[in-house]
Amino acid sequence: MKLYDTILAGMRSSGDPRVKEVMAQIQQNRDEEKEHEEWLEEQIRALGGDDHAPSEKSILVQTEAEGIEHVVMRDPNLLHDFHALLTAELADNAGWELLVELASEFGDRDAKKEFKKRLHEEEQHLVCVHKAVTELSKQEMRESFVELA
């Protein structure tokens, strides 16, 4: 959530009307990410686990996230922020794909259905963020050409 919150704050302060146009979708992505997190925590608790207990995998994911957050915190450039977010969304997609595959492998149809639902949402996040990176990159290129002229 912190990554999305930071990017949304940067978007709010942008004077670019094109940035404002995608803000609602980025907010929706952020809200879905929050729902995914809360749902996963609930599932862990339902299975008798501690959703806040550190594990080898959770420590790895946290370390990866810190690297991405570092890019966003040190660099106020929205293109760079969205590129970092694209990296995070690619990892999210891979994670949900893995959960779908594991549920399928172990015959848990209900879990597979729930994982697929969230994977579909993550795929939409990926498309949205990729589109933003593409548009911001084009804008940066146009501005570079204007400066050269």
pLDDT at 117: 98
| pLDDT band for position 131 (cuts 50, 70, 90) | very high
Question: Nearest-CA neighbor of 69 among 137, 135, 131, 7?
Answer: 7
CATH of the domain at 97: 1.20.1260
- Per the structure, the count of domains in the chain is 1
Question: Which region, left, alpha or beta, applies to residue 97 given φ > 0 means left and ψ of -120 to 50 means alpha?
Answer: alpha
Could you report the per-residue pLDDT of 78-97, keeping only the tens digit for each? 999 999 999 999 999 999 99
**pTM > 0.75:** yes
> Quick one: what percent of the chain has pLDDT higher than 70?
98
90-117 confidence digits (pLDDT tens): 999 999 999 999 999 999 999 999 999 9
Q: Which of 99, 89, 74 has its CA nearest to residue 130?
A: 89
Q: Which domain holds residue 100?
A: 2-148
